[in-house]
Amino acid sequence: RVLPSADQVDVLLNRRGGHPELAPTGSVRDVFSQSSYGHLDVVSTVVDWIQLPGTEKYYADGASGATSLFEEALRYALDHFDSSVGKYSYSDFEYDDYDQDKDGVVDSVM
């Protein structure tokens, strides 16, 4: 199947007011803003897709991905991303922007 581009995912997550085709009822950012009465502004950083070693079927494990295999997939993707910073399109990624308590660990992944 054809995966959405990083730009399309960015629109789905971040564009205020949504998009007529990709997010007709608003973006994820809009949902958080509306639900918090404007007190929370969630801005997501979107990176390119990372190819996992297993198939989608493997990671879904018959439970729509709600198993420990999701954690395996996420760990693989984060390790791949971490080892790729500085080599590919992630060369300007600033980890400090995502480590507010300065403990050397990214604070949140959605």
Model confidence at 103: pLDDT above 90: no
Instruction: Give 22-79 pLDDT, tens digit per residue.
Output: 999 999 999 999 999 999 999 998 888 889 999 989 999 988 878 899 999 999 988 8
One-letter amino acid of 53: P
* Domain layout of the chain by residue ranges: 1-46, 49-110
Per DSSP, the three-state class of 19 is strand
* Strands of the chain, DSSP E: none
CA 55 to each of CA 2, 61, 65, 80: distance values in angstroms, whole numbers, following the listed order = 15, 10, 12, 17
Residue with more model confidence, 110 or 78: 78
Does this model's pTM top 0.85? My answer is no
Task: Over range 82-86, report the average pLDDT.
Answer: 71
Please give the Cα distance from 61 to 57 (Å, whole number): 6
